[in-house]
Structure 1
Amino acid sequence: MNQATFWFRVRDSLWFLPLLYGICSIIAVSVITALDDWLVPQISDSIPNIFLTGQSVATEIYGSLITATLTMTTITFSTIMVVLTTYSSQFSPRALQDFMRSKITQHVLGVFTFGFIFVLINLWLLSENDQKELLSPFFTILIAITSLGFFILFIHYAAHWVQVNFLIGTIRNDTSKIIREAFEERTYGEHQHWDHSQIENIRKKDRQTIYAKRSGYIQKVDYNYLINWTTKNNLVLEANFQVGDYVPKGMPVFYFWAFSDIKDDVTHDKFLTIGDERTDIQDIEFSMEKLVEIAVKALSTSINDPNTAINSINRIGGLLSELAGNYRPVTYYSDDDGQLRLIMEQKSFLDYLYTSFYQIKHYGKDDISVVYSIVEALYKLAIVSDNDSLTKEIWNFNNYILESVEVSELSSMDYEHLKGIMEKFADFCGEELNW
């Protein structure tokens, strides 16, 4: 694992920010205690009495604030558990990552950690200090007020997160960002095609293999580092996976052909991240699957909320529209000198279409409102795609969606409603509708 990936994981872990706040709390206690011991006795006459507190009053303040901080922390953890339970049972277990990685959640826990450690250490130091006038209780009160403000903020924030529409919107915005980052301009070369004879000549050489060092999901590929590494060692790599795939330990993840002596150890740790669970660092499909799971859960007989499913379908359609506008079927990657360095097949646009709707099709085929919403989303996707080949793929995929619908058995209004959108769809795609 390279250093950037390590710090990325540490930064997004639940314990990192509370630990950082705890360390800052210890530093703050040290500074304020030094002020009480060295500065306050010298300038106490110049400090307004409102900022100074006696030892007995300070003891009462610290005791009360420790209890209050623990109470707020307990309620916060209880609220977190309620949100997690709601996500698991009604939305998508995969969406738990989004809530737990939220900076507000982590900063709230961090502030409570800061406040509790600050008050506890001050109370402990107070028994060793017979000073009559102290400045530290004033700062403790400010920290307590700040903690209360963060507590109110978290309750407001958690109330939004348990609303399914807010969650759907958040996932949609995060996935949109991932799509933009996945297809932004690169410093290395990206190509859809490459000279076939050159590739054949490369593959005639002795092929070597890089094996997965552990089992897990492919979470991230550091393309910049990988291209630089292959250029330095004069290699051509061919990936045997796609981001989001599960690989068992010992599975070949890369094949490579060396054209000179290799300078570095041949290992994937520095440019490939394998983890225990899928993440949305580079995995567009995984992010979209969260919306799919919310839609499928909403269509279950226990919940029976087709409007939530329709909302998810509309957001999926919007993401597919963004994907269609940015999608590049890149397979070959070259260095600054135009030399082939990496062969890695990407997911096709049809793969994203299929992943987005095949489960919703299966569970929602008996609800005409869901079927209509899928057809409408595909129709709008075809309009904005501005690509004849993609439009053809979308039309064919729409026919796949309708294979599970008994059109002849629809009631008159349902039939006319669906036929209306299909006629517009067929007219736009230049196809004939035989209904």
Structure 2
Amino acid sequence: MSDWMVTQSPGARRRPRALSPLREHLRDTFWFAPTAAMVAVFLVWLGAQALDTAVVEALQEERDYETLDELVRFAEDAKAVVNAVGSAMMTFIGVVFSISLVAVQMASGQFTPRVVRLFVRSRITKATFAVFLSTFVLTLLVLTAFDSAGDPRAVTSLPLVQAVLTLCMVALSLLLFVLYVNATLRLMRISQVIARIAAESFRVAASMPAPTGGRDAPDLGPATAWVPHDGRGGVLRDVHIARLVRVARKHGVVLRLIPRIGDFVVPGTPVLAVHGGAAPPRSALRRTVSVGVERTYHQDLGFGLRQLADIALRALSSAINDPTTAVQALDRIVQFLAALSRHPLDAALHRDRRGAVRLVQPVPGWAELVDLGFTEVRTCAAGSPQVTRRMLAGLDDLLLLAPRDRQKPLLRHRELLRQQIAHTTPNPTDRAFALHPDRQGIG
């Protein structure tokens, strides 16, 4: 019988935690952070401009023209600095953009095209672009606030606070530039990329619903209605779990997601099965299923393993021939599978606040995750004893951690690897060496 997971215990009275995919979608975009930062800096500039105007008006009311004259001279010096900052900031932006393109191109060619998402999701990269663009916009706004009148009595605006704000933004830009270069250089190292993929995968695993304590899944009975996918074709990125639970509770039905997160969905094919009543109206289910052109980490338990396996395969190809990288990818594959070795899998039950099952979401099973992590790497590893030794050590570790009912796929891969080595390595000494488990591969 399949293992099951639920969002909360039946006796809980709290509403299900909202799991809106909006935040994850925004993290996968590059326009939101710079746009929000430029809007924010415009609002801050309005406040600084009002403060500058208030200072000038106060000095004119007090007839403190000597102080005003000094501030006018300071403003003229500040204008030259702001002009220089505005000219240099576009060059800075070009440098950052060039570094990003080179890093993305190198990572895509050396590791796998799917790791480009790490650069897109990088917070420091977005923050750097956002601050640089905001600083450039701020310099343009500050330049419009300078008053050409030379007489202190006729001055209506002196961007003093605005000039100080611009200098602060420049200092922040320089700091972020140093952090950005450091972060980009780290992401160009394969060990850092693999560690980042593993961290994202563990975050997905940690967000999975908690088990009910071994209770069996309810009998849903036959499907009473089907909800077809009426949007564009593409990869199922995620679903709005909280909204689907609310819709199912409101209409007194149970919804079952048919495709798994990461599956390609064809328009017109069923995406939801309805149990216990008629299908909810289309308007209620609008924007509950998100389809895109590529997979995301959000709710996709197998995406991290897919990337790690791709990196290992690319490293074992004849063009690159880097078994050490494959061993590093296997380290994380074994670590991730070890974390899930006793976790309920196969499907997730999401309940409403009264404890009734309202949404059944399929997730990869244990055998599927093991196959995803080892099958393709195993078929390419026969000629690399470093990889075979590491894989055998990893399988042995997983056999110690996994319960008895989950050891079958591990034993199957161990035996298939032994047969493959026996077929490709006729020399008994080399064969014995390749079949010796070693967590470092070869030292």
TM-score by length of 2: 0.83
1:25-424 to 2 correspondences below 5 Å: 25-40=41-56, 42-43=58-59, 54-126=74-146, 131=155, 134-135=159-160, 136-184=162-210, 192-195=216-219, 199=220, 202-203=221-222, 207-214=224-231, 215-259=233-277, 264-265=281-282, 268-330=285-347, 335=352, 341-385=358-402, 387-406=403-422, 409-421=425-437
Q: 1:49 to 1:300 in 2, by over 3 A?
A: farther
Q: 1:152 to 1:421 in 2, by over 3 A?
A: closer
Query: What are the ranges of 5 or more consecutive residues in structure 2 without an aligned counterpart?
Result: 1-17, 439-443
Q: 1:127 to 1:332 in 2, by over 3 A?
A: closer
- CA positional deviation for 1:209: 1.6
- CA positional deviation for 1:137: 2.4
Alignment partners' CA distance in 1, 2:33 and 2:434: 52
- CA positional deviation for 1:154: 0.7
Indicate the SS of the match to 2:20: helix
Q: Which amino acid aligns with 1:100?
A: V
Contact preservation (8 Å) 1:194, 1:332:
no
- CA positional deviation for 1:295: 1.2
- CA positional deviation for 1:60: 1.7
Query: What are the ranges of 5 or more consecutive residues in structure 1 without an aligned counterpart?
Result: 423-435
Contact preservation (8 Å) 1:320, 1:381:
yes
- CA positional deviation for 1:38: 2.3
Greater alpha carbon shift after TM alignment, 18-27 vs 234-243: 234-243
- CA positional deviation for 1:119: 0.6
Indicate the SS of the match to 2:145: helix
Alignment partners' CA distance in 2, 1:374 and 1:171: 19
Alignment partners' CA distance in 2, 1:98 and 1:284: 16
Q: Deviations over 1:229-258 (max 9, x none)?
A: 222212233332111110111111122244
Q: Which amino acid aligns with 1:243?
A: I
Q: Deviations over 1:176-202 (max 9, x none)?
A: 11111124358xx9955444xxx5xx3
Identical-residue share of aligned pairs (%): 21
Greater alpha carbon shift after TM alignment, 370-379 vs 401-410: 401-410
Q: 1:3 to 1:351 in 2, by over 3 A?
A: closer
Q: Deviations over 1:109-145 (max 9, x none)?
A: 1100110000112123326665496413233222212
Residues matched between the structures, number: 410
Contact preservation (8 Å) 2:374, 2:413:
no
